[in-house]
């Protein structure tokens, strides 16, 4: 057994609790970096579930969108998402409002956003050539040398200097560093909060996700390689999107404690029904109400403990997987190059968490503006007109399109998005469009849909 | 299921020598070849496959593309734009590690080939 | 979330909502056991003993108590039962069935060594008195269930020692007498009277018994062996199987020769054949069907073959050839399997002109048994067996159970005795008839997620070295497992259809709908708040033992 110093040594043992993207990426990067500096450590990942199962048992509950920036980061790291993991490549967003629809495409005409299954597809889906995203990352971690232990961790405690991990079947083991990557839907965070006075677990809100079975060909024709986003006047609903994948379409509702009523209001909206073939929303085959992290854990670390992914700090509403990647890598770097005591994490890991937290504050402001747009019909008209015009012209700077794009995809920080909305040209153009689109003549009719129908058929 | 990036047909040019560019490319699926064309003569530098990247020099310098990259068979290639990459490096410098490693490998390879060429010259 | 009907009719209402509920189900082992033994229950107490705050010893005591609520003879049954429970054990296809039989034997021996007392059901004392004829497993079970409910019980046994077939016929090397004595004695410690050497009909009339007791139970067994009905059968050298075994057990002077033929394919025939081997005879077993159709327990047949019993199949005896009064040979005819009868068993059909002779000096006939009706004339109805109602009632105040209702294994006899007692008690006390726990839904085949459970090697009863079996003919061949092994084996039970605290539902429910029960008992660890359920179905899918299921619709 190595000396109980606050750094990783040869023979140090690390426990990663949770085999989702955060846990897998932490293990992958840590073992990679350890290898680069010739440090011999072992990583035990505790994940009792198998992501090859269909339905909620094998799923980690989210919309299943890997943002553009994350796709590129992973590609740079040498992690290519194989074709059976990517259920569909997304090229554009289609924004649906009561005043009209507009498709926002990326200028590069290439698919850079990946729609994936976190588990292996919804309940009752056929065992075709689908591969789970989480399963893929877990396998990558195993290839780097992580041991996957199929046991459910139910408790943690300090044993001298080290951390003891206890499982449901009474199995326990001691580690030099424990990494919590369970997410916020697991009871473990609650158990730990009860035990440790100085720790507050992340604050959560309820979201809704379900899957509709529509069929690959119909989806291709009807939804195309586009993610469909809705800005509707429903209070507490911040974001709603339909994400096409393979034979299924995933619906994701985010906001302030999504419940039955809100869901029903959403399904009753004509904009939503019109999006489906024949204007009829089919029965869904799979659903859940997962909780998401809306405020980070305080603190997201401790003595020989660190919380990553949703268990620690994550971006508000969007790009959770991207935040998991960033926190996982930062925690791994801290552990390998600086130390595993609370001070090391405080100095080298906490700044990232703070950065994400502060950016989320900006995010609240931006979503706040979004709420105003959702409530005010005149604002919706203005936004629609501005975006449609930008999309028609190939070379003009896409200010509104870019803002919406980055907001929907989570590809840029909220601060970045916010700053762009302060640009005088942006504000000027928006005011102009607000005025024009609400003139008596224009306001009466629904604004023309910009390039939606004909383009879809191409893909 | 689906591939990310843009699809290129056999022989299609992805990057042309002497063009300006500001992005890197990562091959998702398929193969490409890197070719230098001077005075009508073609010098094939190397062949690259899935998970390999090219065009990385444009991320660090403002020079033109050093060679032409052509697809061999149907290929999917993902673009990594400069802004995204540099932002990433700023937040996490170790992101460049793999790129540097590959570039160093390529320099070694070119050095060996140059030495051999000098040797073989009459 | 209340499952009310008063809602709008948007498509979402017709969608697939998987509300969950906790529902204990009938496991395959209990469904297969003739006595509905709750192996899952008493194994669970041992496997979960730390979670429910018991030491291992305390857990064994409690497990023994739970087991003996239904079966007062675990050490006996753990030695002789062909364990149909293990045939359908869910674990069978993974890494071998749970060794329920060996565990029962272990607990039975544990109870004896610790002198544990049988659990009482009701401390009150009732005035009614109960008379039990016979002291085999059915009678002992009936007597036990009545005595523990507070009734005065008297057992009338024809022979000197109680136990019925267990005592008379089952050989020492399968069931040592000390074990049987200990288990029977414990029963009589419950204030049950035993009247020995009392022959109903000869020493006392059955009508007299009916006057003495409020009700009587007939556990006559099927002690009379039947003749085949072939020429030469009558006379010395030909003996019914049961009689042969009884004589050997009583240690009487052996009249067995050196070349023995045993006719039959059931457990009695096998016991007789192996006993004759232990006397040093050359033994040939003759059965009219093929090996695969023998009713005897497979293990017994295999052991008999290992001990050198010759077996000839598809032959039936046609006559016994004597010289004077001695048996010289037996003539047998070849058979072939014909059409199946109404029970699906192929009828053996004689092959014409195919006869053989076997030189033997003793023939043991173990083809069939029937009750000895001597003394039972007042209640006889002319049927081959006693025809009772399903709960064992023959007529007013007369109940019956065991082999006298038709042949079966000891577990079945114990079950019939128990069910009759439960019904009789209900009738006497004027309370509703106790419904069998088989009303619960059964665990659906393949619904238990066997890959959740880690592979664990099966513990089997150790056996004495085969070379030694016949050298020490009266010693048991199988031995009891140790305490450490019992603890390991209990942990292999998958707890099909009942919670065993894997904690997955608790940990994974997005809504946090599961709460831990303060005072956990074996099988009861969490409670699901039904209106917290969001209908995602996740808990149902992660629950490995099929305890959580889709809620019944209104």
Residue A57 in this model has a pLDDT that exceeds 70: no
Among A331, A359, A387, the domain-final residue is A359
* pLDDT over 70, % of chain C: 96
- By Cβ distance, the residue of C15, C501, C536 closest to A289 is C536
Same domain, A46 and A137: yes
Question: Which is higher by pLDDT, C286 or A52?
Answer: C286
What digits encode the pLDDT tens for the residues A318-354?
889 999 999 999 999 999 999 999 999 999 999 999 9
Which of B4, B8, B14, B75 should be substituted to probe chain A, the one whose Cβ sees the most A Cβ atoms within 10 Å?
B4
- Beta-carbon pairs below 8 A across chains A and C: 82
Cβ distance B81 to A77 less than 8 Å, yes or no, reads: no
As a whole number of angstroms, the distance between CA C397 and CA C216 comes to 6
Residue A448 in this model has a pLDDT that exceeds 70: no
**Residue corresponding to tokens 């204030």:** C191
Residues of C in contact with A53 (CB under 8 A): 541
Same domain, A106 and A221: yes
Same domain, A212 and A333: no
> What pLDDT, on the 0 to 100 scale, is given for residue C6?
30
Cβ distance A284 to C15 less than 8 Å, yes or no, reads: yes
Q: Tell me if the domain spanning B6-120 has CATH number 3.40.50.720.
A: no
Q: Mean of the pLDDT values across residues C135-164?
A: 95
Same domain, A138 and A279: no
- By Cβ distance, the residue of A80, A86, A112 closest to B50 is A80
As a whole number of angstroms, the distance between CA A456 and CA A19 comes to 37
Q: Does residue A64 lie within any of the structural domains?
A: no
Q: Does residue A171 lie within any of the structural domains?
A: yes
- Å between B120 CA and nearest CA of chain A: 37
Residue A3 in this model has a pLDDT that exceeds 70: no
| CA distances, A341 to each of A165, A178, A346 (Å) | 18, 11, 9
Q: What DSSP line would sit under chain B, residue for residue? A: ----BEEE-TT-EEE-TT----EEEEEEEEEEEEEEEETTEEEEEEEE-TT-EE-THHHH--PPPSSEEEEEEEEEEEEEEHHHHHHHHHH-GGGGHHHHHHHHHHHHHHHHHHHHHHHH--
What digits encode the pLDDT tens for the residues C167-205?
999 999 999 999 999 999 999 998 899 999 988 888 888
What digits encode the pLDDT tens for the residues C215-234?
999 999 998 888 888 999 99
Return the structure tokens found at C45: 């107490």
As a whole number of angstroms, the distance between CA A154 and CA C196 comes to 60
Which of A19, A50, A52, A55 should be substituted to probe chain C, the one whose Cβ sees the most C Cβ atoms within 10 Å?
A55
A68 three-state secondary structure: helix
Q: What is the mean pLDDT of chain C?
A: 91
Q: What is the mean pLDDT of chain A?
A: 86
Q: Mean of the pLDDT values across residues C82-103?
A: 96
What digits encode the pLDDT tens for the residues A211-254?
888 888 888 888 888 889 998 889 889 889 998 887 888 899 99
Q: Does residue A159 lie within any of the structural domains?
A: yes
H or E stretch at A240: strand A237-245
Residue A129 in this model has a pLDDT that exceeds 90: no
- Closest-CA residue to B75 (of B25, B36, B37): B25
Angle between helices C298-306 and C267-278 (to 10 degrees): 20
Cβ distance A187 to C17 less than 8 Å, yes or no, reads: no
Lowest mean pLDDT among A164-173, B68-77, B88-97, C389-398: B88-97
B95 interface with A at CB cutoff 8 Å = yes
Same domain, A230 and A194: no
Q: Does residue A364 lie within any of the structural domains?
A: no
* pLDDT over 90, % of chain C: 75
As a whole number of angstroms, the distance between CA A103 and CA A384 comes to 10
pLDDT band at A124 (very low <50, low <70, confident <90, very high): low
Same domain, A170 and A53: yes
As a whole number of angstroms, the distance between CA C272 and CA C245 comes to 6
**Residue corresponding to tokens 């009587």:** C216
Q: Does residue A436 lie within any of the structural domains?
A: yes
> What pLDDT, on the 0 to 100 scale, is given for residue B52?
92
Instruction: Establish whether chain B is in contact with chain C, requiring a minimum of 3 CB pairs below 8 angstroms.
Output: no
- Residue C25 CA, chain-centre distance (Å), reads 21
Q: Mean of the pLDDT values across residues A40-53?
A: 88
| CA distances, C550 to each of A211, B34, C17, C494, C545 (Å) | 19, 59, 9, 20, 14
Contact call for residues C369 and C265 (beta carbons, < 8 A):
no
Return the structure tokens found at B92: 């996490």
Q: Which domains does chain C have, with CATH numbers?
A: 1-24+498-554 (3.30.70.20), 29-119+460-490 (1.10.1060.10), 129-223+371-438 (3.50.50.60), 227-366 (3.50.50.60)
Question: Which is higher by pLDDT, A132 or A190?
Answer: A190
B11, exposed or middle or buried, with CB in 10 Å at 0-12, 13-18, 19+?
exposed
> What pLDDT, on the 0 to 100 scale, is given for residue C432?
84
A425, exposed or middle or buried, with CB in 10 Å at 0-12, 13-18, 19+?
exposed
Q: Mean of the pLDDT values across residues A165-183?
A: 94
| CA distances, A30 to each of A304, A333, C171 (Å) | 15, 7, 67
Domain region containing A43: 13-58+127-202+296-359
Lowest mean pLDDT among A283-297, C56-70, C458-472: A283-297
pLDDT band at C439 (very low <50, low <70, confident <90, very high): low
Q: Mean of the pLDDT values across residues C488-496?
A: 97
pLDDT band at B4 (very low <50, low <70, confident <90, very high): confident
Q: Does residue A75 lie within any of the structural domains?
A: no
As a whole number of angstroms, the distance between CA C112 and CA C180 comes to 10
Same domain, A300 and A444: no
Cβ distance A284 to C509 less than 8 Å, yes or no, reads: no
Q: Mean of the pLDDT values across residues C250-262?
A: 89
> What pLDDT, on the 0 to 100 scale, is given for residue C3?
36
Lowest mean pLDDT among A103-117, A268-282, A368-382, C476-490: A103-117
Same domain, A142 and A280: no
Residue A52 in this model has a pLDDT that exceeds 70: no
> What pLDDT, on the 0 to 100 scale, is given for residue A56?
66
Q: Mean of the pLDDT values across residues A128-136?
A: 77
Which residues of A, range 155-194, sit inside 8 Å of C by Cβ?
168-170, 185-188, 190
A112 interface with B at CB cutoff 8 Å = yes
Other CB atoms within a 10 A radius of the CB of residue C49 amount to 21
Which residues of A, range 6-45, sit inside 8 Å of B by Cβ?
33, 36
Cβ distance A56 to C534 less than 8 Å, yes or no, reads: no
- By Cβ distance, the residue of A152, A286, A289 closest to C507 is A152
Q: Are β-strands A172-175 and A162-167 bridged in parallel, bridged antiparallel, or unpaired? A: antiparallel
- By Cβ distance, the residue of A76, A129, A330 closest to B80 is A76
Q: Does residue A271 lie within any of the structural domains?
A: yes
> What pLDDT, on the 0 to 100 scale, is given for residue C9?
39
ipTM over 0.90: no
Which of B1, B59, B86, B88 should be substituted to probe chain A, the one whose Cβ sees the most A Cβ atoms within 10 Å?
B1
Return the structure tokens found at C78: 């753990």
C446 three-state secondary structure: coil
Cβ distance C508 to A186 less than 8 Å, yes or no, reads: yes
**Residue corresponding to tokens 């290519």:** A80
Same domain, A47 and A169: yes
DSSP state of C433: P
Same domain, A353 and A213: no
- By Cβ distance, the residue of A72, A86, A329 closest to B92 is A329
- Closest-CA residue to C173 (of C241, C80, C285): C80
What CATH number is attached to the domain comprising A50? Answer: 3.50.50.60
> What pLDDT, on the 0 to 100 scale, is given for residue C383?
86
SS (H, E, C) C291-359: HHHCCCCHHHHHHHHHCCCEEEECEEEEEEEEECCEEEEEEEEEEEEEEECCCCCEEEEEEEEEEEEEE
DSSP state of A109: -
- Bond preceding residue A299 cis, omega within 30 of 0: yes
Q: Mean of the pLDDT values across residues A131-149?
A: 92
- Closest-CA residue to C68 (of C183, C212, C238): C183
> What pLDDT, on the 0 to 100 scale, is given for residue C8?
35
What digits encode the pLDDT tens for the residues C287-332?
999 999 999 999 999 999 999 999 999 999 999 999 999 999 999 9
C321 interface with A at CB cutoff 8 Å = no
As a whole number of angstroms, the distance between CA A316 and CA A204 comes to 11
Residue C1 in this model has a pLDDT that exceeds 90: no
Question: Which is higher by pLDDT, A113 or A292?
Answer: A292
> What pLDDT, on the 0 to 100 scale, is given for residue A456?
36
B74 interface with A at CB cutoff 8 Å = no
Same domain, A135 and A163: yes
> What pLDDT, on the 0 to 100 scale, is given for residue A454?
31
How many domains does one find in chain A? 2
- The chains found to touch A (3+ Cβ pairs under 8 angstroms) are B, C
Spell out the residues 6+ positions from residue C510 whose beta carbon is closer than 8 angstroms to its own. Answer: A61, A185, A288, A289, A290, A291, C534, C536, C538
Q: What is the pTM of this model?
A: 0.87
Among A313, A330, A359, the domain-final residue is A359
Cβ distance B92 to A114 less than 8 Å, yes or no, reads: no
> What pLDDT, on the 0 to 100 scale, is given for residue A408?
85
Same domain, A224 and A284: yes
Contact call for residues A443 and A381 (beta carbons, < 8 A):
yes
Write phi, then psi, for C54 (nearest 5 degrees). Answer: -120, 150
Residues of A in contact with C541 (CB under 8 A): 53, 55-57, 123
Residues of B in contact with A36 (CB under 8 A): 97
Cβ distance A333 to B1 less than 8 Å, yes or no, reads: no
B9 interface with A at CB cutoff 8 Å = no
Residue C438 in this model has a pLDDT that exceeds 80: no
Cβ distance A84 to B51 less than 8 Å, yes or no, reads: no
Question: Which is higher by pLDDT, A4 or B65?
Answer: B65
């Amino acid at each position: 057994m190595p000396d109980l110093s606050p750094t990783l040594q040869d023979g140090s043992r690390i426990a990663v609790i949770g085999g989702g993207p955060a846990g897998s990426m932490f293990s992958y990067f840590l073992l990679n970096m350890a290898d680069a500096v010739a440090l011999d450590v072992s990583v035990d990942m505790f994940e009792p579930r198998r992501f090859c199962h269909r339905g909620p048992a094998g799923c980690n509950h989210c919309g299943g969108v890997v943002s553009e920036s994350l796709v590129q980061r992973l590609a740079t790291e040498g992690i290519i998402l194989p074709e059976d993991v990517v259920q569909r490549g997304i090229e554009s967003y289609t924004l649906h409002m009561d005043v009209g629809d507009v498709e926002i495409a990326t200028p590069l005409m290439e698919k850079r956003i990946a729609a994936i299954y976190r588990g292996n597809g919804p309940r009752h889906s056929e065992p075709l050539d689908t591969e789970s995203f989480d399963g893929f990352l877990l396998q990558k971690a195993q290839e780097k040398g992580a041991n996957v232990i199929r046991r459910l961790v139910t408790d943690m405690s300090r044993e001298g200097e080290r951390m003891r991990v206890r499982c449901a079947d009474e199995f326990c083991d001691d580690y030099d560093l424990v990494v919590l990557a369970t997410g916020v839907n697991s009871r473990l965070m609650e158990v730990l909060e009860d035990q440790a006075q100085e720790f507050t677990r992340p604050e959560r809100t309820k979201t809704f996700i379900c899957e509709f079975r529509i069929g690959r060909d119909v989806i291709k024709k009807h939804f195309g390689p586009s993610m469909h986003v809705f800005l509707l006047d429903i209070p507490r609903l911040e974001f709603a999107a339909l994400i096409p994948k393979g034979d299924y379409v995933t619906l994701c509702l985010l906001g302030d404690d999504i419940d039955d009523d809100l869901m029903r209001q959403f399904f009753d909206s004509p904009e939503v029904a019109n999006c489906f073939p024949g204007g009829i929303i089919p029965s869904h085959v799979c659903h859940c109400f997962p909780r998401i992290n809306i405020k980070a854990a305080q603190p997201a670390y401790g003595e020989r403990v660190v919380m990553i992914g949703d268990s620690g700090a994550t971006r508000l509403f969007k790009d959770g997987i991207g935040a998991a990647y960033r926190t996982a890598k930062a925690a791994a770097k801290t552990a390998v190059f600086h130390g595993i005591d609370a001070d090391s994490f405080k100095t080298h890991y906490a700044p990232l968490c703070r950065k994400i937290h502060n950016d989320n504050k900006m995010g609240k402001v931006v979503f706040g503006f979004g709420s105003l747009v959702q409530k005010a019909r005149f604002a919706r008209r203005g936004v629609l007109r501005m975006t449609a015009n930008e999309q028609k012209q190939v070379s003009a700077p896409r200010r509104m399109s870019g803002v919406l794009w980055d907001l929907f995809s989570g590809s840029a920080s909220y601060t970045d998005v916010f700053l762009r909305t302060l640009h005088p040209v942006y504000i000027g153009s928006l005011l102009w469009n607000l005025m024009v689109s609400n003139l008596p003549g224009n306001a009466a009719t629904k604004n023309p849909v910009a390039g939606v129908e004909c383009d879809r058929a191409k893909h | 299921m689906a591939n990310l990036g843009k699809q290129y047909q056999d022989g299609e040019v992805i990057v042309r020598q002497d063009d300006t560019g500001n992005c890197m490319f990562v091959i998702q699926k398929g193969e490409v070849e890197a070719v230098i064309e001077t005075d009508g003569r073609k010098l094939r530098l190397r062949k690259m496959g899935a998970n390999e990247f090219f065009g990385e020099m444009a991320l660090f310098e403002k020079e033109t593309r050093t060679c032409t990259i052509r697809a061999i068979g149907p290929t999917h290639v993902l673009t990594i734009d400069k802004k995204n990459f540099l932002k990433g490096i700023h937040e996490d410098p170790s992101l460049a590690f793999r790129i540097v490693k590959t570039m160093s490998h390529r320099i070694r390879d070119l050095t060996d080939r140059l030495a051999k060429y000098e040797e073989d010259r009459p | 979330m209340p499952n009310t009907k008063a809602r709008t009719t948007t498509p979402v209402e017709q969608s697939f909502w998987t509300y969950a509920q906790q529902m204990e189900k009938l496991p395959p082992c209990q469904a297969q056991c003739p006595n509905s033994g709750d192996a899952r229950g008493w194994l669970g107490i041992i496997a979960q003993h730390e979670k429910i705050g018991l030491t291992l010893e305390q857990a064994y005591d409690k497990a023994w108590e739970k087991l003996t609520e239904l079966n007062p003879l675990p050490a006996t049954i753990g030695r002789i039962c062909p364990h149909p429970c293990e045939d359908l054990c869910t674990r069978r296809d993974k890494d071998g069935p749970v060794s329920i039989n060996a565990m029962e034997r272990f607990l039975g021996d544990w109870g004896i060594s610790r002198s544990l007392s049988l659990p009482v059901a009701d401390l009150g004392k009732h005035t009614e008195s109960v008379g039990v004829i016979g002291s085999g497993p059915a009678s002992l079970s009936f007597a036990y269930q009545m005595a523990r409910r507070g009734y005065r019980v008297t057992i009338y046994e024809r022979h000197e020692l109680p136990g019925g077939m267990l005592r008379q016929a089952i050989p020492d090397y399968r069931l040592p007498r000390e074990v049987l004595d200990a288990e029977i004695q414990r029963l009589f410690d419950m204030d049950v009277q035993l009247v020995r050497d009392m022959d109903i009909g000869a020493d006392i009339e059955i009508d007299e018994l009916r006057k003495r007791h409020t009700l009587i139970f007939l556990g006559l067994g099927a002690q009379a062996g039947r003749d085949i009905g072939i020429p030469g059968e009558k006379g010395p050298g030909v003996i019914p199987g049961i009689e042969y075994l009884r004589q050997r057990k009583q240690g009487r002077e052996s009249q067995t020769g050196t070349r023995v033929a045993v006719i039959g394919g059931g457990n009695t025939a096998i016991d007789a054949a192996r006993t004759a081997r232990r006397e040093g005879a050359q033994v040939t077993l003759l059965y009219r069907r093929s090996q695969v159709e023998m009713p005897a327990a497979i293990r017994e047949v295999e052991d008999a073959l290992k001990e050198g019993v010759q077996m000839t199949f598809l032959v039936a005896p046609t006559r016994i050839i004597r010289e004077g009064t001695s048996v010289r040979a037996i003539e047998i005819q070849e058979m072939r399997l014909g059409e199946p009868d109404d029970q699906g068993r192929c009828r053996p059909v004689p092959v014409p002109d195919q006869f053989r002779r076997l030189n033997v000096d003793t023939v043991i006939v173990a083809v069939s048994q029937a009750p000895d009706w001597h003394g039972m004339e007042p209640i006889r109805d002319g049927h081959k067996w006693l025809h009772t109602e399903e709960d064992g009632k023959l007529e007013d105040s007369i109940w019956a159970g065991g082999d006298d209702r038709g042949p079966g294994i000891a577990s079945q006899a114990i079950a019939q005795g128990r069910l009759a007692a439960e019904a009789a008690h209900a009738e006497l006390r004027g309370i509703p008839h106790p419904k069998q726990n088989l009303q619960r839904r059964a665990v659906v085949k393949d619904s238990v997620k066997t890959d959740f459970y880690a592979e664990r090697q099966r513990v089997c009863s150790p056996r004495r070295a085969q070379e030694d079996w016949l050298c020490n003919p009266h010693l048991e061949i199988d031995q009891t497992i140790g305490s450490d092994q019992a603890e390991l084996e209990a942990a292999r039970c998958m707890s099909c259809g009942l919670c065993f605290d894997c904690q997955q539902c608790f940990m994974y429910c997005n809504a946090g709908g599961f709460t831990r029960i303060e005072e956990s008992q074996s099988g009861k660890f969490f409670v699901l708040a039904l209106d917290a359920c969001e209908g995602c179905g996740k808990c149902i899918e992660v629950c490995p033992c099929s305890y959580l299921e889709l809620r019944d619709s209104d």
